[in-house]
Amino acid sequence: MAAGKVVKPKKNFRCSYYMSATVGLVGCLAAFLVAYVVKNFKLEPLNNPELSPLKAPKVTDLAEFDASYRDQMLWGSYRSGLYFGMRTRTPKALLFGMMWFDPDDPNTIQQLRARHDANQGDGLTTYGWKRHDGRLYGTQELVDGEYNITLSMLKSFAPESGPGGDWSVRLQLARTAGVPLRRRRISVIVYLGDEDTPREPWQVFPDGEVADLRSGPARLLSGASSAVGRGSARWAFHATEITNAMISSTRSRGCRVDYLSLGMVNSEYLLRIKELALSAMWERLQRQPSSNRFHLYLPNGASTSADLAMFQVTCLLPSAVDFAFTSSAGGSDDVGDRLGSLLGPGLGDALAAKEAEFDDRFEAIFGAGLRRQQDGESPASGAVPEGTLEVSRAALSNLLGSVGYFYGSSLVRVGGPDTKPQSYWPAPLFTAVPSRSFFPRGFLWDEGFHQLLVQKWDPQLSRDMIAHWLDLMNTKGWIPREQILGDEARTRVPTEFVVQNPSHANPPSLFLPIAKMASQLVQAGTQGSASGIDGEELARVSAFLRRAWPRLEAWYKWFNTTQTGPLPTSYRWHGRDPFTEAELNPKTLTSGLDDYPRASHPDDLERHLDLRCWMALASQAMYDIGSSLGIPGPVVALYRATAKSLSDLGQLQQLHYDKALGRFADWGTHTEDVELTTKVITVPGPNGQPQQQVISQRVTGSEPVPQFVPQYGYVSLFPLIMKLLPGGGNNPDAAEAPAGAELTLQQLQLLQDPSLLWSPYGLRSLGTTEGLYKKRNTADDPPYWRGQIWININYLVLRALSHYAAANGSEVGRVAAVAHDELRLRLLKTLVSNYHQNGYLYEQYDDETGRGVSSHPFTGWTALVTLIAAQEY
Ligand SMILES: *[C@@H]1O[C@H](CO)[C@@H](O)[C@H](O)[C@H]1NC(C)=O
Ligand SMILES: *[C@@H]1O[C@H](CO)[C@@H](O)[C@H](O)[C@H]1NC(C)=O
Ligand SMILES: *[C@@H]1O[C@H](CO)[C@@H](O)[C@H](O)[C@H]1NC(C)=O
């Protein structure tokens, strides 16, 4: 997926070895600390323009993100990489997390089998948010073999509550339907940690220790943190078991509570909380060998200087436990009244109301499009597959429920390849992420797609995320493409992939949601109002774009100067490796399409079609924004001129149209006559023993020559995708340009050729007849963008088809409409059936079987299924 995602997940640091050697907790953590320190770079600050923020007012400081907005958004399920966690949107977080395991099974220790980080290797049957509104409420189902955990989260704001308000988490712990019983109990550890120094000592069980949670709400913990208010503000954490029949399926049978609190030594303990908890339970077991039964419990100890506390709740199945976090501005510990609505039946009522509210809002925004039938040729075209509504809701909810808040610095290499990476300035990022298990962090080009969906659901939330991205721009106008901010994010990325290069681009896909905002302004300017948007909202959009303008200008300029091609109006993705002999086709990570075939021999002659089309989009958006905001004429005129020349069909064809094949293409020094061979070499192994290693080597037959790159795939579609072909809905020339329309028709025919991209399951990334279709790039690199179906590009094609379909009087319009309906239906069938059968949305779909492949859950741009179902473009 996004450039740089050639990342293999890092192996969990294993403590089991140390534990079995009875070195115990201390030894394990010491070993971990060594490992931790070794893998981190030593950094020296440097005053470099590439490491300094652009001098412009921050977009995140806009009035709409004022104190009351920040208060409301302070807490959230912002720990993207976990099955569930909450944190504050502060540089140093007050945070919450949970893990679960079988307390009676030795494998829990031997295999470190506790669930905490979302991890594909855990093999959960399914997990994900069923509903999540991005702000206040969410409910998630986690099916882990025999365990079925339903988790609901709700934030609430009472007049007495401090900044960020209160929040509740309900856990319903049950057996999975239809699975034979083996396990009788489950343990859930919930924990709170403060990355900052607590303002006063934490108190575990301030009201006296509790042995069972059935006698009403118990206060487990209280403290004070600058993350949730200064002065006398305090917080507390409570729990209760649900013992009545209110949740009929999960009437509680009794849970016990064990605990451990300690000082977390910077953040290292937090980063390895699972190992820490398991070590502590193992130690307790070792100390009490009298019992010959195997049970894991925390040792029940509290440190006087704790800033990390874990509570282990061990329950018979089924059971249900509610937790509540309360924050009090006034410093009183008495929250008696509020607990009634934060726990127990009061919480049940509130959750039911939120669920109904979510469904109503979803219906209001997406319902009509989901049901709209096309009056096209095929009678079935408008009817969506059964289960589409559920998948659409889950897709949106998972995108929102995976949104993360990160704080830290990127590592950037500003000098040559041998120079030490330097630290970018520390900054926050509030962003959606591609995948909780595999890519739980920000990716620049994915984010443009994420925001198309978020923007439709909650435009302000979307502006907040885009604002964070734009504020990461340096003085040169560059934004790092993969954001690995903070220790938690860094533990999941191997060091060699962490470093970013300030001369490398990534598609400016943020211009997709930004262009949408721009078009709202244009519409309001020409028609007096934009459809469906009230005046206040329009004012916020306008203020946002005005504040963003200097940054957008810098960003645009960075592309328009550093990524130019050899000829006027041509562009080139810089950073391809011309010297690699190991790759069948040298990768273009910067384009986002990683191993998609380009010119076989990278050089400065290359011109890249997709980048030129991205620049056409960006230029038009800049013109729209500038002219709507009344930016001085000469500046705006330049964007208009550039937009005009980039959308000029003659120039586009001259640079990128292969007349012989009738296709749009890249240009470069290329030969089709290449082959990948492998050979085995012997290298010295870690302990001096010779080791065999397979390396790949490319063999070039005939010499490369400058030419159009004859590989038909996603890149060939970009003129259509960016609506640069004549005959579309908004093009008044449609009727008078029959020659142009012929070209569009011809491209629409190519699009629907089953031997090329048109598969029964959606558009594949590369034609089956092409030389690199499904070819490995190196011995270690399986095909990635060489045939698989990707949802982001499919969405853009549908969006373009819907644009051309709007010209319903013409042949182009008719053909586009039919293609749109058919492609949409194929995609919905593929995604909906995979979700129902396999429990997930996926990174890619196989073009031969329709089966979801690669990482999952992948609810970044695959979540565009919601917009596809709703026909929102
Ligand atoms: C899990 O539990 C929920 C209710 O809490 C239920 O609706 C769902 O069907 C269960 N899922 C499975 C797979 O058992
Ligand atoms: C983009 O770059 C081209 C080539 O240098 C230049 O002609 C054009 O004016 C630039 N566009 C803008 C808006 O700066
Ligand atoms: C397309 O069809 C709609 C109704 O289906 C009609 O309102 C519109 O005017 C038509 N547009 C063109 C260009 O024919």
Gap from CA of 162 to ligand 3 centroid (Å): 55
Ligand of minimum distance to the alpha carbon of 149: 1
Interval between CA 303 and ligand 3 midpoint (Å): 72
Residue 609 has pLDDT above 90, yes or no: yes
Q: Is the CB of 639 under 6 A from ligand 2?
A: yes
Q: Which atom of ligand 1 sits closest to the CA of residue 143? A: 13
Structure confidence at residue 748 as a pLDDT band (50, 70, 90): very high
Centre of ligand 1 from the C-alpha of residue 326, in Å: 29
> Which residue is closest in CA terms to ligand 2's atom 11?
642
Nearest ligand 1 atom to alpha carbon 176: 14
Tokens 């339903």 sit on residue? 150
808 lines ligand 3 (CB under 6 A): yes
Ligand 3: distance of its center to the CA of 809 in Å?
A: 7
Task: Please name each of the domains of the chain with its CATH number.
Answer: 81-354 (2.70.98.110)
- Atom number, ligand 2, closest to the C-alpha of residue 642: 11
Q: Is the pLDDT of residue 33 over 50?
A: no
84 lines ligand 2 (CB under 6 A): no
148 alpha carbon to ligand 1 midpoint, in Å?
6
Q: Mutation test of ligand 3: which of 373, 731, 808 has the most ligand atoms closer than 8 Å to its C-beta?
A: 808
For ligand 2, say whether the CB of 567 is within 6 Å of any of its atoms.
no
Q: How far is the CA of 560 from the centre of ligand 2 (A)?
A: 6
Give 216's pLDDT tier (boundaries 50, 70, 90). confident
Catalytic residue among 594, 595, 666, 846: 594
Mean pLDDT value across residues 348-375? 92
* Closest C-alpha residue for ligand 3 atom 10: 808
The pLDDT value given to residue 374: 62
Give me the mean pLDDT over the 257-267 stretch.
86
- Judged against a pLDDT cut of 70, whether residue 611 lies above it is answered with yes
Question: What separation in angstroms does the CA of 599 have from each of 4, 282, 443, 707?
Answer: 20, 57, 26, 9
For 178-187, 303-312, 464-473, which range has the lowest pLDDT when averaged over its residues? 178-187
CB count within 10 Å of CB 200 equals 10
Percentage above 90 pLDDT, the chain = 76
Among 131, 139, 150, residue to substitute to test ligand 1 (most atoms within 8 Å of Cβ)? 150
> How far is the C-alpha of 144 from the C-alpha of 258, rounded, in Å?
23
Q: Could you tell me which residues come within 8 angstroms of residue 490 by beta carbon, excluding any fewer than 6 positions away? A: 40, 408, 484, 498
CA distance 276 to 305: 17
Q: Which ligand 3 atom is at minimum distance from the Cα of 807?
A: 13
- Ligand lying nearest the CA atom of residue 727: 3
Identify which ligand lies nearest to the alpha carbon of 638: 2
Is cis: bond before 857, omega within 30 of 0? yes
Euclidean distance between CA atoms 646 and 627, whole angstroms: 18
Which ligand does the CA of 622 lie closest to? 2
Across 265-274, 569-578, 834-843, least confident range: 265-274
Question: Does ligand 3 have an atom closer than 6 angstroms to the CB of 306?
Answer: no
CA of 131 to the centre of ligand 1 (A): 15
Q: What's the confidence (pLDDT) of residue 304? A: 87
| Whole-number Å distance between alpha carbons of 153 and 140 | 9
Residue nearest to atom 6 of ligand 3 (CA): 808
**How many angstroms separate the Cα of 108 from the Cα of each of 192, 379, 423, 622?**
22, 55, 39, 56
Lowest mean pLDDT segment, chosen from 408-412, 662-666, 783-787:
408-412
Q: What is the mean pLDDT of the chain?
A: 90
Q: Go through the chain and tell me how many residues it has.
A: 873
550 CA → ligand 2 middle, Å? 16
Task: Verify whether ligand 3 is closer than 6 Å to residue 809 (CB atom).
Answer: yes
Atom of ligand 1 nearest to the CA of 150: 5
List the Cα angle 364/455/396 in 5-degree steps. 65
Q: Give dist(CA 722, CA 738) in Å, integer.
A: 20
Q: Are the beta carbons of 726 and 706 closer than 8 angstroms?
A: no
Instruction: Determine whether 843 is an active site residue.
Output: yes
* pLDDT for residue 382: 58
Q: Which residue has the higher pLDDT, 832 or 374?
A: 832
Task: Enter the tokens of residue 848.
Answer: 């031969």
Tell me: the pLDDT tens digits for 502-535?
A: 999 999 999 999 999 999 999 988 877 767 788 9
Ligand 3 closest atom vs CA 375: 5
- Cβ proximity of 296 and 281 under 8 Å: yes
pLDDT for res 288: 82
Number of C-beta neighbours around residue 253 at 10 A:
15
Is the CB of residue 734 below 6 angstroms from any atom belonging to ligand 3?
A: no
With a cut of 50, say whether residue 831 has pLDDT above it. yes
Ligand closest to the CA atom of residue 477: 2
Closest ligand to the CA of 317 = 1
Catalytic one among 658, 843, 846, 847?
843
Q: How confident is the model at residue 11 (pLDDT cuts 50, 70, 90)?
A: very low
Quick check: is 375 catalytic? no
Centre of ligand 2 to C-alpha 616, Å, is 11
Select the highest-mean-pLDDT range: 239-248, 338-347, 372-381.
338-347
Which are the contacts of 282, defined by CB distance < 8 A and separation ≥ 6? 19, 24, 25, 109, 296
Amino acid at 782: P
| pLDDT at position 472 | 98
Ligand 3 centre from 808 Cα, in Å?
6
Residues 723, 800 contacting (CB under 8 angstroms) = yes
The tens digit of pLDDT for each residue in 612-649 reads: 999 999 999 999 999 999 999 999 999 999 999 999 99
**b/e map 637-650, b = 16+ CB within 10 Å:** eebbebbeebbebe
Q: Could you give the CA distance from residue 387 to residue 833 in angstroms, rounded to a whole number?
A: 8
Mean pLDDT of 306-321: 94
CA-closest residue to ligand 1 atom 9: 177
